[in-house]
């Protein structure tokens, strides 16, 4: 066993695979996680019906937590806005700290009216339907006409939820609003298959005709759309549904207009043109605009790092070492812009380093790569005294925040599996921290 302790902040895929890498090298690892349940977006982002994928990841995570030199402190927020500050963590004198807190900040467009009721960020909406407290019990009501901004896989997940799996009444129409055109989709076609039956072929073709001249002007041919990104428009839908999925291309939201009850009623949308600059296509907003009626608006445009964690922050990201002589190592090292120095022993990995980039596999690789640099740093540092987990647990418990251990997580998951069986449901999860803590402590 190596003689040092490494703290990992965040127990999503990046944090857990980082923990595995460091613990396998023999170090003691202490994980601090905001949520009671480990897994991050693998639990609270990945689509609820992907039960097999979620179960597979949960199994891998359980193995990591079962490692004898890995400890878990759930329900512990690290940050400058409540919870435990980074300085407080430093007082325990870890040999290194790896921040794997994901991308918890919301990208704001700053549109007039965007604070209206019925306007949500995709992350919060997805957290709500995956039952992450406190989003699980907050109002994320949707209506008859829903707009989703963005054309990635998260958009597809949300459309799928609204059109297929959301309990209760389904929307009449879900409209995807995209800055660019039909060739610039970012979703995987396999994912889109779920919502393909809802795609209104006639209106999609009308939309293509509307933007044909603009696309032609930048060298794109709408006849290619059906052969490339939207093959489904060549065929009839595989099933018939009342609810429709439509697209509004070359369009940007510019203002939300609420009704008397404060809920979004209309969206002012500007027309864009595509301009080719070398190999890249830029979308440029024009002064032509229109109003479209919506009662729900969801921004699925990616997220940003959370400034509340307390790491040096600039332009939506944590600052990393700009040194180009060893850019790979430097890219994981936290950098203090004020002093112009690396914050020695502090690292960022996963979505905390590159917000909303890639799937679980990518977050894992990023964490493992970052931890190779952590391990090299620890080797150089030499002998250190390891921190006792029991001291940390005692001190955290004395703060009365309901700290959850890995044994507690095991208990919670077992109770939830039992509940699912009793209720004859494929899965069950408690919607509040209080219920989870009760289930853990009152079995």
Q: Interface with ligand FAD by CB under 6 A: which range of 136-144, 197-205, 239-247, 355-363?
A: 355-363
* Contact between residue 353 and residue 318 where contact means Cβ atoms under 8 Å apart: yes
Out of 4, 19, 36, 46, the only residue in the binding site for ligand FAD (CB under 6 A) is 46
Q: What is the largest CA-CA distance in the chain?
A: 69
Shortest Å distance, C-beta 364 to ligand FAD? 8
The site map against ligand FAD for 113-152 (x = CB under 6 A) is -------------x--------------------------
Instruction: Report how many residues bind ligand FAD under the rule CB under 6 A.
Output: 36
Closest approach of ligand FAD to the CB of residue 243, in Å:
20
- Report if residue 14 touches ligand FAD, rule: CB under 6 A: yes
Cβ closest to ligand FAD, residue 79 vs residue 118: 79
Q: Would you count residue 50 as binding ligand FAD (CB under 6 A)?
A: yes
Q: CA-based Rg of the chain, rounded to a whole angstrom?
A: 24
Q: Is 98 in the site for ligand FAD (CB under 6 A)?
A: no
| Binds ligand FAD (CB under 6 A): choice among 34, 179, 180, 329 | 34
Q: Which of 4, 6, 8, 41 binds ligand FAD (CB under 6 A)?
A: 41
Asked if 309 touches ligand FAD (CB under 6 A), the answer is yes
d(CA 110, CA 254): 9
Q: Determine if 101 is a binding residue for ligand FAD (CB under 6 A).
A: yes
CB of 352 to ligand FAD, least distance (A): 6
Q: Which of 2, 104, 121, 243 binds ligand FAD (CB under 6 A)?
A: 104
Binding segment (CB under 6 A) for ligand FAD, from list 99-107, 193-201, 216-224, 389-397 = 99-107
Q: What residue ranges bind ligand FAD (CB under 6 A)?
A: 9-15, 32-35, 40-42, 45-47, 50, 77-79, 100-102, 104, 126, 154, 157, 309, 350-352, 358-360, 363
């Amino acid at each position: 066993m190596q003689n040092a302790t490494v703290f990992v902040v965040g127990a999503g895929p990046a944090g857990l695979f980082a923990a595995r890498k460091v613990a396998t090298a023999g170090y003691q690892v202490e994980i601090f996680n905001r949520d009671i349940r480990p897994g991050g977006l693998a639990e609270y982002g990945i689509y609820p019906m992907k039960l097999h994928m979620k179960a597979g990841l949960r199994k891998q995570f359980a193995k990591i937590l079962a490692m004898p030199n890995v400890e878990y402190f759930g329900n512990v927020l690290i940050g400058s806005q409540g919870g435990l500050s980074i300085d407080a963590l430093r007082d325990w004198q870890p040999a290194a700290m790896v921040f794997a807190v994901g991308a918890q900040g919301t990208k704001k467009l700053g549109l007039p009216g965007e604070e209206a009721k019925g306007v949500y960020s995709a992350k919060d909406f997805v957290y709500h339907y995956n039952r992450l407290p406190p989003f699980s019990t907050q109002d994320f009501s949707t209506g008859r006409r829903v707009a989703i901004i963005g054309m990635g896989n998260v958009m597809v997940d949300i459309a799928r939820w609204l059109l297929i799996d959301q309990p209760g009444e389904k929307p009449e129409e879900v409209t995807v609003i995209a800055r660019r055109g039909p060739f610039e989709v970012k979703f995987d076609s396999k994912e889109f298959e779920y919502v393909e039956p809802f795609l209104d072929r006639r209106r999609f073709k009308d939309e293509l005709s509307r933007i044909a001249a603009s696309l032609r002007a930048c060298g794109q041919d709408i006849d290619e759309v059906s052969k490339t990104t939207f093959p489904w428009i060549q065929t009839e839908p595989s099933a018939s549904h009342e609810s429709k999925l439509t697209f509004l291309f070359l369009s940007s939201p510019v203002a939300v207009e609420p009704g008397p009850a404060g809920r979004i009623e209309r969206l002012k949308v500007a027309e864009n043109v595509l301009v080719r600059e070398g190999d890249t296509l830029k979308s440029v907003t024009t002064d032509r605009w229109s109003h479209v009626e919506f009662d729900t608006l969801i921004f699925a445009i990616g997220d940003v790092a959370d400034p509340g964690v307390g790491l040096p922050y600039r332009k939506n990201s944590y600052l990393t070492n700009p040194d180009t002589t060893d850019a790979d190592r430097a890219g994981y090292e936290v950098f203090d812009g004020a002093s112009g120095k690396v914050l020695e022993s502090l690292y960022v990995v996963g979505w905390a380093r590159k917000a909303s980039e890639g799937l679980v596999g990518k977050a894992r690789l990023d964490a493992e790569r970052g931890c190779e640099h952590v391990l090299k740093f620890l080797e150089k540092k030499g002998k250190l005294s390891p921190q006792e987990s029991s001291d940390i647990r005692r001190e955290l418990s004395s703060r009365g925040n309901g700290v959850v251990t890995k044994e507690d997580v095991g208990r919670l998951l077992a109770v939830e599996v039992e509940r699912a069986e009793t209720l004859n449901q494929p899965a069950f999860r408690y919607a509040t921290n209080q219920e989870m803590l009760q289930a853990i402590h009152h079995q």
